[in-house]
Amino acid sequence: MATTSIGSKITEAAVAAVRARIGQERPAPDVFNDEATRSAIRHFAHGIGDTNPLWLDDEYAAQSRFGGIIAPPSFLFTCGLGRSQGLPGVHGMFAGVDFEFLAPVRLGDRVRGWNSVHDLVEKQGQFAGRQFLQTVLTVYRDQDETVVGRCFTHVMRTERETAGKKGKYLSIERQRYTAEQLAEIDAAYEAEVVRGASPRHWEDVQLDEALPQIVKGPLTVTDMLAFLMGFGSPFVRAHKVNYAYRKRHPAAYIPNDYGIPDVPERVHWEDDFARRVGVPGAYDYGWQRIAWLSNLVTNWQGDAGWLKQLSVQLRRFNVVGDTTWCRGKVVNKRVEDGEHVVDLELWCENQRGEITAPGSATVVLPSRG
């Protein structure tokens, strides 16, 4: 059985094959959660470090306007990802999302994502030579065919060998922490506040108001294992199940140092392989930072608020050892279609002061009027 090398190239035929799929809706493959069970919601919330009782505590959630447990907005990721399509053997670098949350996912709901290629645009960048920005639209429907969310997922498809040779990010210095620095991070965990049952009214929100920051990190492979326990993985499979997937998708596998075909997802836990694609070491799943910014917003808005839209761009790598501070501020407030809306600027900032993931959100808040 053939396996692809790290030097797989982008061909005109492969590009044409992807563009031929534009607009064709298909069920999202390899869905991790097809039902919002209590355990599935808990595993996901714990995997992103979110302790909001609205997702976790039956008695508490029963007193909310939802009447019971709901899933964190970003739980929808587990019901079908907008995965890159086509271009076999060509690396997919997650670039960001534009997400719209239309309805809560309640305990017991069955949700499935449906994907279609939305666009494929050629780009030139410093990280790699020839590359394409691929956008996939995922529409999430529940058991009643109600659309509960939509997501445009953006993935930069790059030739692995070219990216590794360019080496734009290889000079990043890995972080070592003092006891004082770790104590500062622990203090931020202790200080995290979940607004919860106390309503945040639209009238009380001020322009330039800062959201209370939350911290995630220092990032470890253990953190990513916890995340995968709630999020799932398109590639992580064992033994015969892994063999069956490799038989269907041989180009997805790249031999490791021992000649064993292994998955490209190992950039998240193998430093050497990550360096081969131009990154200084193993790095996070981009979905983590997106979920962390969602966590920041839901902490701030309270149970009476609703995260309506979330956009995040993944600009820099979050490598193992980095600490991410999730921050935001109010940039606008308005009344739109009868809803009292607040616009937020969001960002993930690492210990080097670099913004790794800028974003924005729109939140609907209760009004006193």
* Distance, CA of 93 to CA of 268 (rounded, Å): 12
Over residues 222-255, the pLDDT tens digits come to: 999 999 999 999 889 999 999 999 999 898 899 9
Is 310 a domain residue?
yes
Query: What integer pLDDT is reported at residue 98 of this predicted model?
Result: 98
Mean pLDDT throughout 43-59? Answer: 99
Q: What is the CATH number of the domain that holds 169?
A: 3.10.129.10
Higher pLDDT, 122 or 302: 302
Query: What integer pLDDT is reported at residue 5 of this predicted model?
Result: 43
Higher pLDDT, 90 or 44: 44
For residue 28, the 8-state DSSP code is P
Q: Is the pLDDT of residue 90 over 90?
A: no
Is 369 a domain residue?
no
Using alpha carbons, list the distances in angstroms from residue 274 to 267, 304, 309.
4, 42, 32
Q: Is the pLDDT of residue 34 over 70?
A: yes
Q: Is the pLDDT of residue 312 over 80?
A: yes
Is 7 a domain residue?
no
Q: Is the pLDDT of residue 1 over 50?
A: no
Among the listed residues 80, 35, 38, the one whose alpha carbon sits nearest the alpha carbon of residue 55: 38
Contact between 193 and 310 (Cβ < 8 Å):
no
Mean pLDDT throughout 85-111? Answer: 89
Mean pLDDT throughout 19-34? Answer: 89
Classified as helix, coil or strand, 289 is helix
* Distance, CA of 56 to CA of 72 (rounded, Å): 10
Query: What integer pLDDT is reported at residue 249 of this predicted model?
Result: 87
Name the pLDDT band for 140 (thresholds 50, 70, 90): very high
Over residues 272-289, the pLDDT tens digits come to: 999 987 889 999 999 999
Cα 183–Cα 187–Cα 190 angle in degrees, nearest 5: 140
Domain around 261: 12-364
Classified as helix, coil or strand, 128 is coil
Mean pLDDT throughout 146-152? Answer: 98
Q: What are the helix (H) ranges across the chain?
A: 12-19, 38-47, 53-56, 58-62, 160-166, 179-191, 221-231, 239-248, 271-276, 286-301
Query: What integer pLDDT is reported at residue 129 of this predicted model?
Result: 63
How many CB atoms within 10 Å of residue 338? 6
Over residues 247-264, the pLDDT tens digits come to: 998 988 999 999 999 998
Among the listed residues 165, 85, 84, the one whose alpha carbon sits nearest the alpha carbon of residue 128: 165
Q: Which of 65-69, 94-98, 194-198, 295-299 has the lowest mean pLDDT?
A: 94-98
Q: Is the pLDDT of residue 302 over 50?
A: yes
Higher pLDDT, 134 or 76: 76
Is 134 exposed, middle or buried (CB count within 10 Å of its CB: 0-12, 13-18, 19+)?
buried
Q: Which pTM was predicted?
A: 0.91
Q: Is the pLDDT of residue 166 over 60?
A: no
Name the pLDDT band for 163 (thresholds 50, 70, 90): low
Query: What integer pLDDT is reported at residue 4 of this predicted model?
Result: 40
Query: What integer pLDDT is reported at residue 128 of this predicted model?
Result: 55
334 phi and psi angles, rounded to 5 deg: -160, 165
Is 1 a domain residue?
no
Is 90 a domain residue?
yes
* Distance, CA of 359 to CA of 353 (rounded, Å): 16
Query: What integer pLDDT is reported at residue 161 of this predicted model?
Result: 57
Is 5 a domain residue?
no
Query: What integer pLDDT is reported at residue 3 of this predicted model?
Result: 34
Among the listed residues 75, 35, 17, the one whose alpha carbon sits nearest the alpha carbon of residue 251: 17
* Distance, CA of 45 to CA of 75 (rounded, Å): 8
Is 246 a domain residue?
yes
Number of domains in the chain: 1
Query: What integer pLDDT is reported at residue 164 of this predicted model?
Result: 53
Question: Percent of the chain scored above 90 by pLDDT?
Answer: 74
CB neighbour list of residue 168: distance below 8 Å, 6 or more residues apart: 126, 127, 278
Name the pLDDT band for 23 (thresholds 50, 70, 90): confident
Contact between 163 and 278 (Cβ < 8 Å):
yes
Name the pLDDT band for 167 (thresholds 50, 70, 90): low
Is 126 a domain residue?
yes
